[in-house]
Structure 1
Amino acid sequence: MTVTTIGIIGGGQLGRMLAIAASRLNFRTVVLEPQADCPAAQLANSQITASYSDPVALAELAAACDVVTYEFENVPVEAAEMLARNIPVYPPPKALEVAQDRLAEKRFLNSCGIPTARFHAIDNQRDLEAALADFGGSGVLKTRRLGYDGKGQRVFHSPDDNPAGAFEALGGVPLILESFVPFEREISIIAARGMDGTVACYDPAENVHRGGILDTSTVPARIIPETADAAREAATRLLDALAYVGIVGIEFFVLPDGSLVANEIAPRVHNSGHWTEAACVISQFEQHIRAITSLPLGDPARHSDCVMTNLIGDDILRLPDWLARRNTLVHLYGKTESRPGRKMGHVTELTSKAR
């Protein structure tokens, strides 16, 4: 497959960083995004300003590009499938279909032999009350579709938490109740699969969230080698099952015995993989571009230990402090307005790799 131009659906910071990586490898990029002057379009070669499901815009994107990818998992599956009838779309639309529905996601993970929290489908208030009784009155209630960074959720800590009205409060849409997992820490793994089936996994990162949003990712994670191996094996199994092409991010809970429980699949480049930009020769963004253009995957090994910190909202006011630090890479996203919960950039502090 000969590729000169890559289409990117979505115009946020992930699309921006994909456009940078594509440019370094001499590819042109076209962004489809309804918001004009979005972060990705500031650095892409051109932008189609239209809805993600606009058939005219999708036809224009297909005509302008040799391959299409996406920067977020809530791209309409129908739009991806429409494009895929005329042009390669990676990751495959099937990955979107799985990741967009938390119930389908859990069932798919289990079908791959990857453990998850226990769960129940919730389609009405009676379902919720029965599921809570099964879980001893506790659990995390989530919308099956949409919702990110902690949105679209309600937590029940004990039987004392009254579930009355909870189904309607979350919109009366299909929900999923997940059991609590007694985890010690959260990790994620970033992995890539090429068109030839080659898989490359980065080292797992240990993640800390603040207000439901990723705050820091630290590499190496404080896990035993067997846990890291299990994460790589799970990622490989999932990638092969989907005949995947591109980067995937998989979030896990680590239990006290070192075993893993999968939490979430992100069929795209992932926030917890931003550290690869500074601590690896080949970043997750370049790796994704390599995969979807049929180039050989790069070495995912890291040359440094690191901590990646998101700059969220007013964190951007600390920019002078970050810029003054040694061995620290600062990456801003081209956003002019700071507001609570908005990711404005990230910084990655490097230290010598432990022997």
Structure 2
Amino acid sequence: MKRVGVIGGGQLAWMMGDAAKKLGVELVVQTPSKSDPAVSIAQDTVFAAIDDAKTTEILAQKSDVITFENEFVDLEALSLLANQGVCFRPRLEALFPLLDKYHQRCYLRDLGLPVPQFLAVDGVENLAAKIEHFRFPVVLKSRRHGYDGQGTFIIQDLASLQQKLSPAANQSQFLIEEFIPFARELAVIAARSVNGEVVIYPVVETQQEQQVCRRVIAPADITLNQAEQCEAIAHTLLNSLQAVGVFGIELFLTQDGKVLVNEIAPRTHNSGHFSIDACQTSQFEQHLRAVCGLPLGNPTLHCQMAVMVNLLGYENSDSDYQSQRQQLAAIDQATVHWYGKTESRPGRKLGHVTVLLNETNQKTANHLAQTLESLWYPS
């Protein structure tokens, strides 16, 4: 039996629980709090911040291999452990180009992958000259630690940009990107094995509000050529990184039908949650298969279509929303996944619901997503 150490104890680690049981794998989790979701499914837990590499040494002693639920780690410190023979999957070298969003952009560009125009900025000095090739609005992103819309800002004019970058406003390093007036946002989950085999899940449409994913529709309503472009990007990226495990790749589909890479997550991803109920092999099982050196599973859908809606907090509360969850679960072919978090706050991911469909109809899928949200959010 393999023991897999997981850095991070949130819902992504929690969702590995069922897959671990199925594969006969034990999970050991490093996480800060006893109330974190994955504590309930772990065989053993090491309590510490996920960037506490000293504690990861204890995790390593209890594990055959270490993987990541969360990429906000101290790679320099973990490298010392890797040099002592600790096995990380994905390997640390695959994470180094990705954790800083500017370095990630440069890496993707140097691979020849299509990305928005971008520039690193570190203050207001000569700002107007530096960004003369950009048209407003622009996108301003924190280079580190941004997720779920945190650290991402749509800026409408130079004065607002100067204000945001003033030393008084923040101490962060930023990246400026051209604003892409996309037709759709897409995502694809891909996995690579220790032997270099790559499998790719169906490309999905992600519908975001305020840079937070609200809904996922699988598969996306795109052309065969566009789907092939997304798959080619995934192959190029995972093979170049020599990655092992599951990666989430967020993409833009432009108004004129081009595919651009938005961001890479070196782990299981919210856009792949539909796979638990809708695919032959969930992204969580696939990730454990990859990091344990097992053959990869079949990523195809076993239904015509699936709709996944995130259940986000909309108030400060300690309710478990039993009544709303029962209404959602009563919908035909619906499964509610509740992460067991003890408190709700606006924007917090509390769970998700996935509904399987026996037809491929974008209109039906969008209408269903609206119905699910109307049952969850107060009017």
For the 8 Å contact 1:33–1:49, the answer to whether it is kept is yes
Matches within 5 A, 1:1-355: 4-85=2-83, 86-158=85-157, 162-167=160-165, 168=167, 171-304=170-303, 305-314=305-314, 317=321, 318-354=324-360
Instruction: Give, as a single letter, the amino acid of the residue that structure 2 aligns with 1:254.
Output: L
Q: Tell me the distance in 2 between the aligned counterparts of 1:80 and 1:51.
A: 14
For the 8 Å contact 1:52–1:79, the answer to whether it is kept is no
Secondary structure of 1:126's match?
Answer: coil
Quickly say closer, same or farther: Cα 1:127–1:284, change in 2 above 3 A.
farther
Cα drift, residue 198 of structure 1: 0.4
Deviating more after overlay: 83-92 vs 65-74: 83-92
- TM, length-normalised to structure 2: 0.88
- 1:91-149 residue CA offsets vs partner (Å, 9 max, x unmatched): 12123222211110101111221111101110121253334332134311111111111
Cα drift, residue 320 of structure 1: 2.4
Deviating more after overlay: 61-70 vs 150-159: 150-159
Deviating more after overlay: 224-233 vs 165-174: 165-174
Secondary structure of 2:56's match?
Answer: helix
Q: Tell me the distance in 1 between the aligned counterparts of 2:169 and 2:282.
A: 38
Quickly say closer, same or farther: Cα 1:270–1:175, change in 2 above 3 A.
same
Instruction: Give, as a single letter, the amino acid of the residue that structure 2 aligns with 1:329.
Output: T
Instruction: Give, as a single letter, the amino acid of the residue that structure 1 aligns with 2:222.
Output: I
For the 8 Å contact 1:129–1:163, the answer to whether it is kept is no
Cα drift, residue 353 of structure 1: 4.8
Secondary structure of 1:288's match?
Answer: helix
Q: Tell me the distance in 1 between the aligned counterparts of 2:168 and 2:16.
A: 37
**Number of matched pairs:** 352
Quickly say closer, same or farther: Cα 1:75–1:53, change in 2 above 3 A.
closer
Secondary structure of 1:222's match?
Answer: coil
Quickly say closer, same or farther: Cα 1:190–1:55, change in 2 above 3 A.
closer
Q: Tell me the distance in 2 between the aligned counterparts of 1:31 and 1:55.
A: 13
For the 8 Å contact 2:135–2:178, the answer to whether it is kept is no
Instruction: Give, as a single letter, the amino acid of the residue that structure 2 aligns with 1:185.
Output: R
Quickly say closer, same or farther: Cα 1:129–1:20, change in 2 above 3 A.
farther
Quickly say closer, same or farther: Cα 1:133–1:55, change in 2 above 3 A.
closer
Deviating more after overlay: 281-290 vs 135-144: 135-144
Q: Tell me the distance in 2 between the aligned counterparts of 1:165 and 1:22.
A: 48
Deviating more after overlay: 241-250 vs 321-330: 321-330
Q: Tell me the distance in 1 between the aligned counterparts of 2:200 and 2:280.
A: 14
Secondary structure of 1:300's match?
Answer: coil
Q: Tell me the distance in 1 between the aligned counterparts of 2:227 and 2:203.
A: 6
For the 8 Å contact 2:7–2:29, the answer to whether it is kept is yes
For the 8 Å contact 1:17–1:285, the answer to whether it is kept is yes
Cα drift, residue 332 of structure 1: 0.7
- TM, length-normalised to structure 1: 0.94
Q: Tell me the distance in 2 between the aligned counterparts of 1:182 and 1:54.
A: 40
Q: Tell me the distance in 2 between the aligned counterparts of 1:296 and 1:264.
A: 27
Deviating more after overlay: 130-139 vs 295-304: 130-139
Q: Tell me the distance in 1 between the aligned counterparts of 2:226 and 2:293.
A: 31
Q: Tell me the distance in 2 between the aligned counterparts of 1:328 and 1:80.
A: 41
Secondary structure of 2:161's match?
Answer: coil
Deviating more after overlay: 277-286 vs 119-128: 119-128
Instruction: Give, as a single letter, the amino acid of the residue that structure 2 aligns with 1:123.
Output: D
- 1:137-164 residue CA offsets vs partner (Å, 9 max, x unmatched): 43111111111111123322345x5433
Quickly say closer, same or farther: Cα 1:73–1:170, change in 2 above 3 A.
farther
For the 8 Å contact 2:94–2:242, the answer to whether it is kept is no
Share of identical aligned residues, percent?
Answer: 39
Instruction: Give, as a single letter, the amino acid of the residue that structure 2 aligns with 1:67.
Output: V
For the 8 Å contact 2:278–2:356, the answer to whether it is kept is yes
Secondary structure of 2:125's match?
Answer: helix
Q: Tell me the distance in 2 between the aligned counterparts of 1:129 and 1:18.
A: 47
CA RMSD between the two structures = 1.8
For the 8 Å contact 1:224–1:258, the answer to whether it is kept is no
